[in-house]
Structure 1
């Protein structure tokens, strides 16, 4: 603390929340979802609102500016500044009051929209300003930007739904901002606040005519300060509406009172297809006459990119037919579904009246696909909400850039405006993407530029000036949804006129005379193209990186590793708290350090030298990645495709090269090579579990938690049969006997053999081509950064499996993390045809069975084993779309009800849960949903989990034994067999009899599970 600033010392002395002044933390808060980067002097994460206000007071005393921050997803640079950042999202997120009958609630500003609506839904209510970032956008941030959402056609903007706000002025005065009369009668406020209100009302009176003449007459106007809230014609005036859209420049919000609406109960969507983009834009003005709640544009570029994203491809294929140039998704949501269906019919008739059908000239269809199935409706909504991030998934140096991105024009001009805007883009050597709110004339428009290049920065400036001139010509708004920030504030004078901008400055000075609150936004802004404020500054450089994995799919230095890191655009989808898997560590800690975005930012700063030399392999980087469980959820769920699990392998390899291996790394990484020897001396190898002293010693010297029981080695490990198992004429299949099931849970492999043989398959368990050591996928080596050792293991595996893959034999595995290594990391380590063939033929056990069943080739005599099973999906299964087959296979068992536990990572995550320094985080992750669900399950209910580490976590945390799907099916086979009146069949099929313990006892616990 001797070198700490006075600000830091005082904050640490008076805060119980996090006070972050190190370079790595400040770097993580230097960016939002814009292209700007400004490193703050420090960050504070207050635990209470009193602490937040105390931080504001200390900063004021120290002469430091303050920027409030919620989800950090602003696209115009609103939440970056060089003063103190106050992160309200972690702790200040409660509902303070709820009036169900009156349909209002009061909340702290850090509450996330989706979290608010989850709590409101049980009361039949919701807050309908449904921004696409609802899973991470905070109400305070939405109020600061005057957010709108996709359904503002019916529900209006944030301003329309904000009843009042409580806030602290820059001088510390706490006041309530709500509806007031022009004479201030009934206003209970300090004299200074009453004087402020009086001055604001006087300004509104003075400037009423100028405001009426110069403010755009479109709903989507969020630029500047809302001076129209102050004019006499709007009396009684609501002072909260002046704070809405002020981007944290006028006051520090402490409470927001919201207007609520009944939840939407019925919906119907019509996906209208158009042969040309211009036709779609021209049609929007006609479609809104049917009174939908939204009309959303999806253009050709977004459709094409979406089809390359696994989670969206089936949705697009179901909703979009042929090859349209654009579609408009029209949403009806009346209370009576019959009304929605009638409007859907009218939509089809209107499209016909407008002349849209089959066009012989363009060979394109212009009809309507009707969507009434709720799951598909949700999928379409998710795809549209991810529009920005889908666009940003381009694997190239140039990306769609936000700066003219949400201009709004009156609907009759939308087609001409977009056509002329396209001409502007072409004039400057680029093209653009367009999507979103056609019903409001507010499209998200982004030209593709590379802001590392000076010529593209100049093009951005020219495009901005010409685009805003078009907007003025059509009497639209240059800022229609995402606010002003650093991008648009500079242009207020040309949009509103010199006189109104002077009024904006007067408002700012009256509220915040010393310029403490988030200066440089709305008034007195820097040039939007000042490259010193960019994420990629003129001196931004990434040196050559010697990487271990293949990154050639990405642009940039280091064989593409730089490009992979820079795919993160800070959209914050990884901050979601429910749904999907990403990001489990953030869900447990709510710390920016522990979210995929925070890690990607840290990596970008490290490889570009902004965190000092050797930052990539530093202790601070290890702390940044410590809670990353390599679940691969980001690989599947991040809309821009950030693959942090793969990046972590690269960083661990760099760390191992520069710092060597820890004892724990060696114990985890080399497990496949010593497991056989340990099994021969199992009683001795397992001594640690029985000795408190050895537990403590291993914790001290190897970092393995004494609170965990390690997987027990067994002497009767799985030994592959000398010959293939199953009927000689059966269809061939290879069974991959991974290290964990082979060493610890041989019952799973034996069960799989029994099931496959009973299904009529000829099962091969290939032996190594050279050496006697069993085959391994290299998973444990990768987890320790030992990439060369992992490659060596995979070389042995490919040599054994390639001959089978060459003749089309499926390769089936039981442990998801091991089997899916053949579909993922193998391709990053080897590019030869043998490796490609092995990866292409690799299937999880359930994927194989489902494929065979769908082809009519699977015939299994199954019997009843239980009434119900609850299933936890392995993270890698979910990442590769391999979890649904688990549910499908279990439903083959007669009378078995299958319920999926909606869970993220189990928290064990291979060796992660065994770490002394990660044990608590491991339990936190498990307690989010998995362990409570298992504890709640009836004792007679089967608990199913394919992951070795998942089963161990369930055993440790809930004292329940979980089974692999293979064992459930084998139990079902045994029930069918023992209930059969024929014993001849059993005698003629010896492979139906387990080589060890029969599986007739469904309560037989599996062996303790190892790390995977």
Structure 2
């Protein structure tokens, strides 16, 4: 790394003077762009995030003049090292992401290269169209990156590859020449293009004519061939040569795409899935060639390993339970999308008959065990698709030092050879002391194959090289393609000579030289690559070290040194699921800023670089690290939605603890952290303490002194906080429960606890509100202390809670709470702070009110005389509820109220997130998060609609942002009780 204290270089000064977008030359931001989803890491000289295409082109010119190389980048999800390089990285994804034009009748559109596939399809959906190259990374893959890789997707059997769906590309050559790449006649005199572009087109067509025989002989005859340059687009066999197809798959090495014209398709209407089960992996692979005869649009493989890992991931457990029968060695998910429902059902019937003809029945004979599970429910179909699409991350969720490594990932062989190829490949893995994972596109003979290796070990790196050579030799034997979907990058480019022969590789070099004689655009990819096993380019090079770390939480579930914290950080594989812009909750700060710094992946990369010393001494507790994590709202969405289990909220506690040790606390940290200890005293002087909310002067002073935004009202203290003189309520013979009165509801909104107490007593429960053994204030979960990194104080608070509730938990009494962030601390951080039997017992019995009531209702034990509440409830879920699968019970319980219509707001984090939204420096981002979906939905609701939110911070955000009062679900249940007929 260059000296961080050195002044800006001439290049940096020039860029900052002429580019309005972000320009980064600091080591933290450069480090965040040094990796993609491959196992490589190359530190760039700088990063540019242009606001306009003119700025992107100006960046190219400035870099060229300075002798720097340039690498265009979209989502940064390439698995072969295409988007990491020296020089400047230009990030198109933040600003250059528009649909430029759309022709619905012609089914075409023109887009900027930074648009994300899912975002494009969301905008096309209302026109009944979609772009069908449906890659598994659709939530973050950009169209420019997909064109660069010649992406394929799961339904290429029907729709083809990116190349098949690209009509034209406008691009800038390395020297700045702008050209339109599209269909051209072979008669060069008829080509309408500037002189230099016409000369380039002429030379390319001449090369295609000269090499036509060699291309026909050496290019694999499989659809999934995406290796090298698409020279076959240049040969005379084409009636019209589309030169855009030469740029597709070129990995940013030939030109700088500025706009891309795409072919669109009608939306799929009705569809069905047949999940074919096999007791033998070989049998599944052999069956694929027969199943495709039924003309499905996809046949996707899920192997035993992926099924097993999925069963350990909360978000996938329901779909596996519904779609998978028994213990198959592999399943093939066969998708049909005919025009009518009856046609689809007929296809399913044919599928079952074919499986029977192949000899597969639900029998006790393992090799012939199998059958079809039919899935016609659209919601379950979507869940199956999400699970299959998450295949890479599911595989990477292995909590061990070795991980499935992508290098023979996308070899494609003709279907008749697929079973033998995979069987021999497993023999190769075993020969080198490892095993492999396999999933994905059985319909195309292109499986995502990953041997499990630890690339920190030299012996495993040697094994990787040997496996690659043996695997590619087999692919050539079967006349397949060594690169079938994810491109070449660093990992496969060096094998082009064996695959295509020296003459074709020489043609590749000629094309690169003709397009980019200065070798400015992403050099070392496709042409003149480094060795795929050059460890100096690895994310974990030979000198990679992590010193012993003093951790404050238990990380023993993860591999690696330092109690597993290193292993937890390294679970991030950079696949970028956290960059999704819709659906789920993760990652709310990225959705607001679109900055790599503010996405879970960017934070995890920064942590990895920091703990391994690559960001300098003291990086873990540095100002730059705090800035990196500042917008992390600890929503815990990544804990559930990141299939590799990157728990950034938990990691943030470690950083805050290190920061507190080295730098102490700010006044705002102290005010938030110690709230449970001064809240009761503040309540005694509530009118005085609350003066701040009514005085502009005091607000301004508090913003200046404590960093609390003057634009926010603080929650108002009240004198009548929740206190009880008796420790038990309800019938003496009722089922026992403990009511956990958290600090927030106790001192700010006691009516929620009053309502919950009434609901539980009316339900016939014996409700305990026990006092601590020390006779002091009620128990606290310690969350506010954790938010400031004061882990010892949090342990102290939890010790009081454990001592208070342990006798109840020991005899199986549920512990019921109202505030999600507090109650769920007992299911999460408590076990990271202490792992004894008592803590585990308390954790196992901790439930939110609605979780408890929903369970009681399911078992038939709930007896609540709920009366009608005609009208509508608009429901917002707390992030922690969603993370712990505790939100659905809220919907279920509210739907028990007669005549109440319940509608859920599809929202991410509300943006208040505890104390986050109160910060003067985080207020704006807080409001951006809220405005994404929550506040607009609340404003649209009529005045009679109940706004329901269980989170204290969520309710305050709604009040501040929409001027609407929101209530806890407990209060709505209590209102319903008031409407009930008196019991006989």
Normalising by the smaller structure, the TM-score range is over 0.9
Deviations 1:497-534 (A, max 9, x none): 00000000000000000000000000000000000000
Q: Which moved further from structure 2: 691-700 or 347-356?
A: 691-700
Distance 1:862 1:306 in 2: 39
The structure 1 residue matched to 2:499, chosen from 487, 495, 498, is: 495
Query: How far did 1:363 drift?
Result: 8.5
Query: How far did 1:818 drift?
Result: 0.3
CA contact (8 A) 1:866 1:940 kept: no
Deviations 1:693-735 (A, max 9, x none): 1111111111101110101110000002413111111111111
Q: Which moved further from structure 2: 246-255 or 828-837?
A: 828-837
What does 1:627-666 correspond to in 2, within 5 Å?
627-666=631-670
TM-score normalised by the chain length of structure 1: 0.96
Distance 1:408 1:361 in 2: 31
| Alignment match, 1:583 | 587
The structure 2 residue matched to 1:892, chosen from 888, 892, 896, is: 896
The structure 2 residue matched to 1:912, chosen from 916, 922, 931, is: 916
CA contact (8 A) 1:575 1:595 kept: yes
Distance 1:480 1:976 in 2: 65
CA contact (8 A) 1:907 1:922 kept: yes
CA contact (8 A) 2:360 2:368 kept: no
What does 1:294-313 correspond to in 2, within 5 Å?
294-313=298-317
Distance 1:414 1:865 in 2: 61
| Alignment match, 1:1005 | none
3-state SS of paired residue (2:980):
helix
Distance 1:131 1:796, change over 3 A: same
Distance 1:148 1:234 in 2: 22
User: Are 2:824 and 1:820 equivalent residues in the alignment?
Assistant: yes
CA contact (8 A) 2:279 2:366 kept: yes
3-state SS of paired residue (1:434):
strand
Distance 2:513 2:868 in 1: 75
Distance 1:199 1:363 in 2: 56
Unaligned runs of 5+ in 2: none
Q: Give every structure 1 segment of 4 or more consecutive aligned residues whose post-TM-superposition deviation is greater than 2 Å.
A: 184-188, 358-365
What does 1:242-253 correspond to in 2, within 5 Å?
242-253=246-257
CA contact (8 A) 1:323 1:364 kept: no
| Alignment match, 2:687 | 683
Distance 1:771 1:166 in 2: 74
What does 1:511-526 correspond to in 2, within 5 Å?
511-526=515-530
CA contact (8 A) 2:727 2:770 kept: no
TM-score normalised by the chain length of structure 2: 0.99
User: Are 2:710 and 1:711 equivalent residues in the alignment?
Assistant: no
The structure 1 residue matched to 2:599, chosen from 577, 585, 595, is: 595
| Alignment match, 2:403 | 399
Deviations 1:549-588 (A, max 9, x none): 0000011111000000000000000000000000000000
Query: How far did 1:185 drift?
Result: 4.8
User: Are 2:467 and 1:466 equivalent residues in the alignment?
Assistant: no
CA contact (8 A) 2:275 2:375 kept: yes
Q: Which moved further from structure 2: 42-51 or 693-702?
A: 693-702
| Alignment match, 2:133 | 129
User: Are 2:429 and 1:425 equivalent residues in the alignment?
Assistant: yes
Query: How far did 1:364 drift?
Result: 7.3
| Alignment match, 1:107 | 111
3-state SS of paired residue (1:234):
coil
Deviations 1:208-245 (A, max 9, x none): 00000000000000000000000000121000000000
CA contact (8 A) 2:874 2:904 kept: yes
CA contact (8 A) 1:866 1:941 kept: no
Distance 1:766 1:14 in 2: 66
Query: How far did 1:186 drift?
Result: 4.3
Distance 1:534 1:374 in 2: 42
3-state SS of paired residue (1:317):
helix
The structure 2 residue matched to 1:52, chosen from 48, 56, 63, is: 56
Deviations 1:852-895 (A, max 9, x none): 00110111111122411110000000000000000001101111
| Alignment match, 1:877 | 881
User: Are 2:449 and 1:440 equivalent residues in the alignment?
Assistant: no
The structure 2 residue matched to 1:19, chosen from 18, 23, 32, is: 23
Distance 1:911 1:360 in 2: 59
Deviations 1:16-41 (A, max 9, x none): 10001000000000000000000000
The structure 1 residue matched to 2:319, chosen from 297, 315, 323, is: 315
User: Are 2:718 and 1:694 equivalent residues in the alignment?
Assistant: no
Distance 1:899 1:201, change over 3 A: same
Distance 1:72 1:853 in 2: 47
Query: How far did 1:766 drift?
Result: 1.1
| Alignment match, 1:480 | 484
| Alignment match, 2:259 | 255
Query: How far did 1:769 drift?
Result: 1.3
User: Are 2:90 and 1:76 equivalent residues in the alignment?
Assistant: no
Query: How far did 1:2 drift?
Result: 7.5
| Alignment match, 1:92 | 96
Distance 2:876 2:653 in 1: 26
Deviations 1:606-627 (A, max 9, x none): 0000000000000000000000
Query: How far did 1:359 drift?
Result: 3.5
CA contact (8 A) 2:375 2:381 kept: yes
RMSD across aligned positions (CA): 0.9
Query: How far did 1:771 drift?
Result: 3.7
| Alignment match, 1:608 | 612
3-state SS of paired residue (1:482):
coil
The structure 2 residue matched to 1:183, chosen from 187, 195, 217, is: 187
How many pairs align?
A: 980
The structure 1 residue matched to 2:559, chosen from 544, 555, 558, is: 555
Distance 2:577 2:38 in 1: 15
Query: How far did 1:358 drift?
Result: 2.9
Distance 2:130 2:869 in 1: 43
| Alignment match, 1:998 | none
User: Are 2:330 and 1:331 equivalent residues in the alignment?
Assistant: no
Distance 2:801 2:364 in 1: 55
Distance 1:535 1:677 in 2: 52
CA contact (8 A) 1:322 1:364 kept: no
Distance 1:853 1:773 in 2: 33
Q: Which moved further from structure 2: 965-974 or 177-186?
A: 177-186
Deviations 1:915-957 (A, max 9, x none): 0000000000000000000001111111000000000000000
Distance 1:167 1:661 in 2: 52
Distance 2:439 2:861 in 1: 45
User: Are 2:506 and 1:506 equivalent residues in the alignment?
Assistant: no
CA contact (8 A) 1:866 1:942 kept: no
Distance 2:933 2:892 in 1: 22
What does 1:215-230 correspond to in 2, within 5 Å?
215-230=219-234
3-state SS of paired residue (1:876):
helix
